[in-house]
């Protein structure tokens, strides 16, 4: 699959807009929490490359891997932006070249791991503008403060996000094609990548379950949904509707005793006041 300059440039711009510290496109809400999600980037890259179906399939598969990704205190275990745009773009090109979705997921995840180097380097580089901003504050230089606070870091972020993304996406199409030719789907390497790619979503879901469940027995809810899909052949939308139904029942019938207890307490207090 060939990628032209315009396509690579558009993907590079989206990678910049989805960066962690970019104020455009509604800031973190529209950038980091929307554009940098692999499911969104897969859709957008699919539009740019002319294959939305493959883009969504790959984006969803990669999204499951990073579904429980958290960045406590700014610590970045995986560079989600690199995985969403460099990794997903390479994954889409690999799938178009004949690779499996599982192997493409492994490629995108590996890119996210390597991307942490670029992310940390970008954070260190941006600290340069912080020192300049402090100097401007001490001198009372308002214009210098505005430049070093707003414009300077964006220049660094643009260069360190857009340029690597453009280079890898533009030249990666031929690299992905050569990899597929060198390692066909029946080879040991591609079968190993497919197996790893199949396990990584399970790891992402497991991490998410550990975060959202307070007690071990609550895992039965997940197993119940899995059993419905496996036995009744429900799709995800049908399962979501069934889950919503049971959630409403749980909320309705667990909230009632609390309300009744509150009413009883108020009656007791009223009786005590009358006495």
Q: What is the model's pLDDT at position 206? A: 74
Q: How far apart are CA 23 and CA 230, in angstroms?
A: 44
Q: What is the model's pLDDT at position 257? A: 52
Q: How far apart are CA 18 and CA 90, in angstroms?
A: 18
For 126-182, what is each residue's pLDDT tens digit? Answer: 889 989 999 999 999 999 999 998 899 999 999 999 999 999 899 887 766 665 566
| 51 has pLDDT over 70 | yes
Helix axes 52-65, 101-139, angle to 10 degrees: 70
Q: Are residues 205 and 221 located together in one domain of the fold?
A: no
Q: What is the model's pLDDT at position 208? A: 72
Q: Are residues 200 and 232 located together in one domain of the fold?
A: no
Q: Are residues 163 and 255 located together in one domain of the fold?
A: no
Q: Are residues 172 and 64 located together in one domain of the fold?
A: yes
Q: What is the model's pLDDT at position 17? A: 94
Domain range for 197 is: 5-212
* CA-CA-CA-CA dihedral for 116, 100, 209, 34, to nearest 10: 60
Reported as half-sphere exposure (CB side, CA atoms, 13 A), residue 125 has a value of 16
Radius of gyration of the chain (CA): 25
Q: What is the model's pLDDT at position 256? A: 54
- Prediction pTM value: 0.73
What backbone torsions phi and psi does residue 70 show, to the nearest 5 degrees? -125, 155
Q: What is the model's pLDDT at position 118? A: 79
Among 81, 86, 109, 85, residue whose Cα is nearest residue 21: 81
Q: Which of 188, 212, 236 is the last residue of a domain?
A: 212
- 120 or 269: which leads in pLDDT: 120
**HEC string for 11-70:** HHHHHHHCCCCCCCCCHHHHHHHHHCCHHHHHHHHHHHHCCHHHHHHHHHHHHHHCCCCC
Domain total of the chain: 2
User: What H or E segment, with its residue span, contains residue 168?
Assistant: helix 152-182
Q: Are residues 196 and 252 located together in one domain of the fold?
A: no
Q: Are residues 203 and 237 located together in one domain of the fold?
A: no
Q: Lowest-confidence range among 97-111, 211-225, 254-268? A: 254-268
**What percent of the chain has pLDDT above 90?**
29
Read off the pLDDT of each residue in 241-254 and give the average, rounded to a whole number: 84
* CA-CA-CA-CA dihedral for 105, 107, 108, 114, to nearest 10: 150
Q: Are residues 28 and 11 located together in one domain of the fold?
A: yes
DSSP state of 217: G
Q: How confident is the model at residue 247 (pLDDT cuts 50, 70, 90)?
A: confident
- Among 39-48, 108-117, 252-261, name the most confident range: 39-48
Contact call for residues 66 and 107 (beta carbons, < 8 A):
no
Q: Are residues 254 and 132 located together in one domain of the fold?
A: no
Q: How confident is the model at residue 250 (pLDDT cuts 50, 70, 90)?
A: confident
Residue 142: CB atoms within 10 Å: 10
Q: Which of 167, 185, 212 is the last residue of a domain?
A: 212
Q: How confident is the model at residue 106 (pLDDT cuts 50, 70, 90)?
A: confident
Read off the pLDDT of each residue in 30-47 and give the average, rounded to a whole number: 93
Q: Are residues 143 and 221 located together in one domain of the fold?
A: no
For 188-239, what is each residue's pLDDT tens digit? Answer: 666 776 676 667 667 767 777 777 777 877 788 878 887 888 888 878 788 8
For 61-94, what is each residue's pLDDT tens digit? Answer: 899 888 877 665 556 667 889 999 998 999 898 8
Q: Are residues 126 and 250 located together in one domain of the fold?
A: no
Q: How confident is the model at residue 46 (pLDDT cuts 50, 70, 90)?
A: very high
Q: Are residues 123 and 160 located together in one domain of the fold?
A: yes
Q: Which of 212, 244, 263 is the last residue of a domain?
A: 212
Q: How far apart are CA 267 and CA 275, in angstroms?
A: 12
Q: Are residues 192 and 225 located together in one domain of the fold?
A: no
Q: What is the model's pLDDT at position 217? A: 78
Three-state secondary-structure class, residue 187: coil
């Amino acid at each position: 699959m060939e990628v032209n300059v315009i396509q690579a440039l558009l993907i590079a711009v989206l990678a910049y807009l989805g960066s962690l510290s970019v104020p455009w496109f509604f800031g973190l809400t529209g950038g980091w929490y929307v554009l940098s999600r692999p499911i969104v980037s897969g859709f957008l890259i699919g539009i740019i490359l002319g294959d939305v179906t493959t883009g969504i399939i790959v984006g969803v598969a990669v999204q499951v891997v990073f579904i429980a990704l958290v960045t406590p205190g700014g610590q970045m275990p995986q560079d989600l932006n690199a995985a969403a745009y460099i990794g997903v773009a390479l994954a889409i090109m690999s799938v178009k070249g004949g690779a499996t979705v599982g192997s493409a997921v492994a490629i995108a995840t590996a890119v996210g791991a390597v991307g942490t180097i670029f992310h940390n380097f970008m954070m260190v580089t941006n600290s340069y503008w912080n020192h300049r901003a402090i100097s401007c504050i001490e001198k009372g230089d308002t214009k210098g403060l505005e430049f070093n606070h707003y414009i300077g870091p964006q220049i660094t972020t643009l260069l360190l996000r857009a340029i690597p993304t453009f280079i890898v996406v533009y030249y990666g199409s031929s690299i992905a094609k050569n990899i597929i030719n060198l390692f066909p789907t029946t080879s040991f390497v591609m079968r190993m990548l497919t197996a790893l790619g199949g396990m990584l979503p399970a790891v992402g879901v497991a991490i998410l379950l550990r975060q959202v469940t307070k007690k071990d027995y609550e895992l039965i809810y997940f197993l119940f949904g899995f059993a419905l899909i496996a036995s009744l052949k429900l799709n995800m939308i049908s399962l979501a509707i069934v889950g919503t139904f049971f959630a409403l029942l749980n909320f309705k019938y667990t909230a009632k005793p609390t309300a009744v207890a509150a009413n009883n307490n108020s009656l007791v207090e009223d009786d005590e006041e009358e006495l």
